[in-house]
């Protein structure tokens, strides 16, 4: 079979499609875990390599910045070169970067390795979505597959700290990277055997201005948002944010004027796709904020170890894993609008529970589980985004979805994380020392530890209350955007 024949969309079901999904979901699990596993390994790494605070920030941020900046051009290249080839190249980049950690002996080398892993992530994540779009021809099967994909992403975020903590109990911090190598080798072999090549028959033009504007704009926006969350507003950060937004606006203008754009931004003209974007943005922001603040509460207030806190966050993933497979069936019996809006309302209810339940772990675990149940509709949102595109537009739709997830996570931590800091400091009395006022970590073991813990609980509740309001508004927006008579079959090209 020639590459051209392989690239033509098929109408018959691929007999190996569910095994292909296993490979795609498992590799996604590894990539998403890598985003969070470093948080556990970072203290030991910093001590071993003598990393300063600035270097540590760059080690953490290099991955996200490389991934965000390269999503659009790499996805467009995959449309032209082949999505399977791009996926396999991403696996290889992950394996090479993970092995290279054995020779890392400085901040610069670790940052470069993290950036290489981000490049691999930019190759893998949208490729998995595009290939699911092509492998599953039946709309309902595709929706189930994307629901499993979404649940796997949620599982990876929650499991990363658990795996990292378990590895660090027996091995050095290098194990947090080396664990990727055998998994990626297996993924390369399985994907090469199970997956068929797929590419767009009308790929977008990859032009230098478009690459510079999309990569530069997204990188600038993500970095500026991270800086806002860490240090608050400042003139350089606001200027960088404005420059990033301006670059993205210029990229959109170029794309609209092109008959073969690198990213088909005309997809945003569809109400259903916009609803999927709203749902993905709200779910990603809420999950990231709850993981970020919940982990701090478990470790800094409750005194749990990193491994214990990782286990304590698992109800988030369990809720998503349990409910995600049922979302497509529920949408078929009722409507995509009811399930997607209802999922966001459940997410809102889980966040509201964080604001009102007693601050003890059994109750917080229940709230975590409800939040996880609410994110189970995320896969349905993915189905709406991917279904709004033709097979030729699958790369653009996948890039849109991944950008939405990335921005959602960054915005959730930036703005809800900033809310934690503001409420925490406002809840402290005037006599609290400077270190304790700066963060709850600075109060650990000191005379203000109890007051700082109470203040952080107040801030945690505030995040739940504000998050509940925002996700309820997102549910309303989705309800208005999705037609009442839309079915799963109607939502798919």
Q: What is the pLDDT of residue 465?
A: 94
Mean pLDDT of the chain, nearest integer: 85
Sort residue 303 into left (φ over 0), alpha (ψ -120 to 50) or beta: left
Contact by Cβ (8 Å): 331, 143: yes
Rounded Cα–Cα distance for residues 493 and 482 (Å): 16
Q: What is the DSSP string of 260-272?
A: S-SS-GGGGG-HH
Task: Assess whether pLDDT exceeds 70 at residue 6.
Answer: no
pLDDT of residue 491: 59
Q: What is the DSSP letter of 131?
A: H
For 151-174, how does the pLDDT look when each residue is reduced to its tens digit (9 = 90+)?
A: 887 788 778 878 887 887 788 888
65 CB-near residues (< 8 Å, 6+ apart):
115, 118, 219, 222, 223
- CA atoms of 74 and 130, how far apart (whole Å): 13
In which band, very low, low, confident or very high, does the pLDDT at 354 lie, cut at 50, 70 and 90?
A: very high
- pLDDT class of 349 with cuts at 50, 70, 90: very high
CA separation for the pair 242, 15 (Å, rounded): 49
| Residue pair 29/155 in contact by the 8 Å Cβ criterion | yes
Phi, psi values for residue 105, rounded to 5°:
-135, 15
Per-residue model confidence as pLDDT tens digits over 450-480: 888 888 899 999 999 999 999 999 999 999 9
Question: What tokens does 473 get?
Answer: 């508004």
Q: How far apart are CA 102 and CA 92, in angstroms?
A: 17
- Res 492: pLDDT: 62
Residue 391 pLDDT greater than 50, yes or no:
yes
Exposure pattern of 58-78 as b/e (b: 16+ CB <10 Å)?
bbbbbbbbbbbbbbbbbbbbb
Instruction: Summarize pLDDT for 409-455 with one digit per residue, the tens.
Output: 888 888 887 888 888 888 888 877 777 787 777 777 778 888 888 88
Q: Which two tokens stand for residue 38?
A: 């470093």
Task: Say which range, 22-26, 72-76, 231-235, 252-256, has the weakest mean pLDDT.
Answer: 231-235
Would you say 25 and 148 are in contact if contact means Cβ atoms under 8 Å apart?
yes
Q: Which of 163, 144, 193, 143 is nearest to 32 (CA)?
A: 163
Give the C-alpha separation, 328 to 332, whole Å: 6
Burial 391-414 (b: 16+ CB within 10 A, else e): bbbbbbbbbbbbbbbbbbbbbbbb
Q: What's the predicted TM-score (pTM) here?
A: 0.85
């Amino acid at each position: 079979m020639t590459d051209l024949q392989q690239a033509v969309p098929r109408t018959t079901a691929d007999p190996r499609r569910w095994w292909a999904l296993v490979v795609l979901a498992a590799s996604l699990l590894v990539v998403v875990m890598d985003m969070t596993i470093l948080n556990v390994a970072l203290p030991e790494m910093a001590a071993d390599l003598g990393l300063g605070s600035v270097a540590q920030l760059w080690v953490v941020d290099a991955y996200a910045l490389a991934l965000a900046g390269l999503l659009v051009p790499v996805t467009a290249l995959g449309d032209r070169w082949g999505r399977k080839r791009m996926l396999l190249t991403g696996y290889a980049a992950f394996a090479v970067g993970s092995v290279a950690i054995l020779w890392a002996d400085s901040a610069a080398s670790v940052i470069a390795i993290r950036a290489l892993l981000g490049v691999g992530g930019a190759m893998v994540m949208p490729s998995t979505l595009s290939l699911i779009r092509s492998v599953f021809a039946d709309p309902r099967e595709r929706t189930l597959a994307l629901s499993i994909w979404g649940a796997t992403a949620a599982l990876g975020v929650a499991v990363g700290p658990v795996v990292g903590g378990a590895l660090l109990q027996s091995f050095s911090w290098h194990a947090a990277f080396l664990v990727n190598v055998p998994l990626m080798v297996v993924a390369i072999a399985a994907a090469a055997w199970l997956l068929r090549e797929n590419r767009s028959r009308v790929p977008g033009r990859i032009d230098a201005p478009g690459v510079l504007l999309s990569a530069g704009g997204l990188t600038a926006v993500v970095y500026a948002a991270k800086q806002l969350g860490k240090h608050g507003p400042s003139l350089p950060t606001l200027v960088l944010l404005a420059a990033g937004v301006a670059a993205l606006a210029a990229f959109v203008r170029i794309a609209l004027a092109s008959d073969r754009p690198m990213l088909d931004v005309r997809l945003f003209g569809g109400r259903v796709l916009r609803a999927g974007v709203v749902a993905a943005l709200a779910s990603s922001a809420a999950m990231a904020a709850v993981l970020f603040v919940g982990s701090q509460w478990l470790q800094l207030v409750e005194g749990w170890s990193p491994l214990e806190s990782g286990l304590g966050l698992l109800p988030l993933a369990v809720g998503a894993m349990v409910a995600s497979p049922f979302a497509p069936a529920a949408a078929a019996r009722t409507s995509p609008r009811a399930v997607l809006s209802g999922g966001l309302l459940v997410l809102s209810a889980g966040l509201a529970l964080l604001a009102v339940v007693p601050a003890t772990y059994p109750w917080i675990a229940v709230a975590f589980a409800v939040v996880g149940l609410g994110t189970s509709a995320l896969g349905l949102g993915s189905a709406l985004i991917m279904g709004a595109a033709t097979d030729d537009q699958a790369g653009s739709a996948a890039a849109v979805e991944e950008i939405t997830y990335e921005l959602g996570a960054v915005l959730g931590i930036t703005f809800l994380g900033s809310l934690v800091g503001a409420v925490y400091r406002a809840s402290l009395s005037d006599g609290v020392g400077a270190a304790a006022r700066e963060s709850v970590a600075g109060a650990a073991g000191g005379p203000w530890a109890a007051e700082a813990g109470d203040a952080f609980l107040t801030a945690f509740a505030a995040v739940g209350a504000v998050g509940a309001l925002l996700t309820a508004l997102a549910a309303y927006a989705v309800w208005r955007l999705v037609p009442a008579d839309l079915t799963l079959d109607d939502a798919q090209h």
